[in-house]
């Protein structure tokens, strides 16, 4: 059983979440490849796929949306999980899901979509991003919930095992 994890990330924090999901799956005995969306030519070799993105201005980043377009037929025939990484602060803001996730959910019917808190390090931001950051007054910091991310990966592992059991029983 093999899972692909592919996340679009502008400043690296969502990529680190993809790695954490892979580590948690490995602890459950499930092999997972982590690949940048641009590197994924095909998902055909995988039994399940986890796709994620950092959220910018309410939207997922282009590379993972392009991967979904490219591989929509293959994604439709395997279990897919989506995760967004974005909200910041305490309480976390924004509270609503990214705008384009509803469309992605309609398109690929994932098992689930989860939103996890993100990270902002002002030193990593470009000039335009710094300007937006100043206007929206988002709090700086690393809010990523590592235990919840690992827990989610365990749920993915459990679902994959259950599906494999069902297939074996047929
Ligand atoms: C310019 C800018 C715009 C952002 N817009 C949103 C947003 O609309 N919604 C959201 O939840 N997070 C937003 N964020 C927060 C990022 O999604 C968060 O920092 C995320 O962890 C970044 O992921 P990355 O490091 O993988 O690029 C924004 C961050 C920046 C710098």
Among residues 99, 16, 24, 14, the alpha carbon closest in space to that of 63 is found at: 14
The domain limits of the chain are 2-169
Q: Is 141 left (phi over 0), alpha (psi -120 to 50) or beta?
A: left
Residues 50-98 have pLDDT tens digits of 999 999 999 999 999 999 999 999 999 999 999 999 999 999 999 999 9
Integer CA distances (angstroms), 100 to 121, 123, 138, 142, in order: 25, 28, 21, 24
Q: Is the CB of 133 under 6 A from ligand 1?
A: yes
Q: Whose CA is nearest to atom 27 of ligand 1?
A: 10
Q: Is the CB of 141 under 6 A from ligand 1?
A: no
Q: Is the CB of 93 under 6 A from ligand 1?
A: no
Q: Is the CB of 126 under 6 A from ligand 1?
A: no
pLDDT at 49 over 90: yes
Q: Is the CB of 87 under 6 A from ligand 1?
A: yes
Tally the C-alpha atoms within 13 A of residue 67's C-alpha that lie toward its C-beta: 27
Q: Is the CB of 119 under 6 A from ligand 1?
A: yes
Residues 91-132 have pLDDT tens digits of 999 999 999 999 999 999 999 999 999 999 999 999 999 999
Q: Considering the domain delimited by 2-169, tell me its CATH architecture.
A: 3-Layer(aba) Sandwich (3.40)
CA dihedral 117, 16, 102, 60 (to 10 degrees): 100
CA of 87 to the centre of ligand 1 (A): 7
Q: Whose CA is nearest to atom 6 of ligand 1?
A: 56
């Amino acid at each position: 059983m093999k899972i692909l994890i592919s996340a679009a990330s502008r400043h690296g924090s969502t990529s680190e979440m993809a790695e954490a999901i892979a580590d948690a799956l490995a602890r459950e005995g499930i092999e997972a490849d982590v690949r940048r969306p641009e590197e994924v030519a095909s998902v055909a070799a995988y039994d399940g796929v986890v796709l994620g993105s950092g959220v910018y201005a309410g939207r997922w980043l282009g590379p993972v949306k392009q991967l979904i377009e490219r591989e929509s037929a293959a994604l439709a025939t395997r279990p897919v999980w989506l995760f967004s990484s974005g909200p910041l602060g305490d309480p976390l803001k924004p509270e609503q899901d990214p705008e384009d996730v509803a469309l992605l959910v309609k398109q690929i019917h994932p098992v689930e979509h989860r939103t996890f808190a993100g990270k902002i390090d002002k030193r990593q931001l470009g000039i335009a991003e710094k300007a937006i950051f100043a206007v929206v007054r988002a709090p700086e910091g690393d809010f990523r919930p590592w235990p919840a991310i690992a827990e989610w990966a365990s749920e993915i592992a459990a679902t994959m095992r259950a599906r494999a059991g069902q297939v074996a029983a047929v």
